[in-house]
Structure 1
């Protein structure tokens, strides 16, 4: 990327109320709920995947667009036999070896009858669905089996998942990560004990000696019909640990399993309810936080949610947008 282009991108990140505005996005910047962002290694093309439409796919030549809709990643729906297998939620896409893995959720709103599936691709455009990973939930489970993200901690594959109930869990995966490792059991790594336990969308990113657990807290959706009290909307928080599977604490030292969480990004200016986040290490910009949000000048409906990107500064030991 030319220096002049990078300067333009960064100049868009003007501080507002202590946070930076999202970088400029062009093309199709809606259809962005629970985004996953990745760059194809062969040619540097960017791909974005999101909830709904059997996983909506978009591509762009630069990280800020122009984004073009490509269609459904899993056009025939998931092999998992549950309600919601023709919709699919919260994809996470990661390259392991020479194969891209897409982890997704099969569920329906408000239901605990959920499962996590996986599909693979070699080019990010044509996907083969493999169905269930072995992570599932039903009424009475400790968690809702949605919002998967798989992370290699240097020795093992780890999946984070969960939403509401007892919130966020981790489980070891096989390598390659198509299924849960034999004999593996799930471990709770983050829990908001008060209120509705509104915590979900976990994503682990490594920086320095720490594994950073990013997650969303609050009401995610339906702002056009049922806007929460101020501060009750989505926001992004983080805890960190030297282990990818336990011991996460926030900046004040409060355990993530005891309600801890340091806020990384929340509503400010025209940005409302940011969440559904992940972290991507861009070869030009460095670490970026990507997420969806409502632009209050456009509208509050779920279908109007925008794709947001901000650079992250880890120099203090805690991520700053």
Structure 2
């Protein structure tokens, strides 16, 4: 959940989202500080991009120069410096960035946490502090500890939702002091599909007008123009679920109302994030898609996300 009070008066529906510049990105999330937008995404050390206008993007380096030392204890196979699927949130004046450590196709995985008081790399206080391990999974577990997302509920309690394939997506309550799992917290299941392999991952939960919305990605990423990724959503009155789609199908039984399945150019859109303006009246959907006109490279997409009279999100075609 993003604290967007500093963005009051910014109407995201009036921003020109015709993206240009350095747009290679996989698993992107977005935030804004001052007049500058920042995107964080999968890559060496967690990659960062910035834009003054939301349209023109440039690279800003990475958070880590080398793989964090704690990673090898949980993912001993990790032999390259790519960190996956970051999540950025401003909460109580601190930026919390969760990130994933894993190897492709395996659930020997871990989620880590870094914090900063600013995301402006030119600010004198810019300094990422690594808080190490948050939660992990092993090959004996029936879940995969990647694709984290922080959500603070309406009572002020922080939760982490995450997951990829295996038995689906999970939710766990966090300790508000450490922002790591609360002692004795139960690992809850919040979305799954009925067939195998269980092609669901990357949950992202937001709250709007009395409902918690869980956005997830179905099917397969990472295959260029052969990718079948698509974005779906369900909602619940309670953060712990159950979540249902427009047709009343539970997201624990494969339910999900489709938001975007891509088109002839933008193949396999997925791993999305949602970001609200300070007043909550406008929002954007951030994700990657594979560009059929650019060798199927994963490319940043940012689009206005609208809401209908029944409080369901949709994209304008």
Give the TM-score taking structure 1 as reference length.
0.86
| Per-residue deviation, 1:269 | 3.5
| Map 1:296-311 → 2, pairs under 5 A | 296-300=292-296, 304-311=297-304
Partner residue of 1:258? Answer: 253
Deviations 1:276-299 (A, max 9, x none): 100001359821110000121112
Partner residue of 1:217? Answer: 218
Partner residue of 1:18? Answer: none
C-alpha separation in 1, matches of 2:233 and 2:178:
25
Partner residue of 1:249? Answer: 244
| Map 1:142-153 → 2, pairs under 5 A | 142-153=142-153
Say whether the 8 Å CA contact 1:157–1:177 is kept in structure 2.
no
| Map 1:95-244 → 2, pairs under 5 A | 95-124=90-119, 125=121, 126-133=127-134, 135-155=135-155, 156-223=157-224, 227=226, 233-244=228-239
C-alpha separation in 2, matches of 1:221 and 1:106:
17
Partner residue of 1:51? Answer: 42
Return 5+ residue gaps in structure 1 as ranges. Answer: 10-22
Matched, 1:26 2:20: yes
| Per-residue deviation, 1:7 | 5.6
Partner residue of 2:64? Answer: 74
Deviations 1:239-288 (A, max 9, x none): 10011112100110011101111101112131110001000013598211
- Give the 3 Å change call, closer, same or farther, for CA 314–75 of structure 1 in structure 2: same
| Per-residue deviation, 1:177 | 4.9
Matched, 1:291 2:287: yes
Say whether the 8 Å CA contact 2:15–2:54 is kept in structure 1.
no
Say whether the 8 Å CA contact 1:80–1:106 is kept in structure 2.
yes
Matched, 1:37 2:33: no
SS of 2:252's equivalent in the other structure is: helix
C-alpha separation in 1, matches of 2:263 and 2:245:
22
Say whether the 8 Å CA contact 2:111–2:133 is kept in structure 1.
yes
- Give the 3 Å change call, closer, same or farther, for CA 60–185 of structure 1 in structure 2: same
Return 5+ residue gaps in structure 2 as ranges. Answer: 1-6, 122-126
| Per-residue deviation, 1:26 | 1.4
Task: Give the number of aligned pairs.
Answer: 293
Name segments (4+ residues, structure 1) moved above 4 Å.
Answer: 5-8
Q: Greater shift after overlay, 170-179 or 235-244?
A: 170-179
| Per-residue deviation, 1:60 | 1.0
C-alpha separation in 2, matches of 1:6 and 1:140:
46
C-alpha separation in 1, matches of 2:238 and 2:35:
31
Deviations 1:8-59 (A, max 9, x none): 72xxxxxxxxxxxxx31012111x100010001xx23111100011100111
SS of 2:59's equivalent in the other structure is: strand
SS of 1:205's equivalent in the other structure is: strand
- Give the 3 Å change call, closer, same or farther, for CA 210–278 of structure 1 in structure 2: same
Say whether the 8 Å CA contact 1:148–1:159 is kept in structure 2.
yes
| Per-residue deviation, 1:178 | 3.0
Give the TM-score taking structure 2 as reference length.
0.87
| Per-residue deviation, 1:95 | 0.4
Partner residue of 1:12? Answer: none
C-alpha separation in 2, matches of 1:96 and 1:74:
22
Partner residue of 1:63? Answer: 54
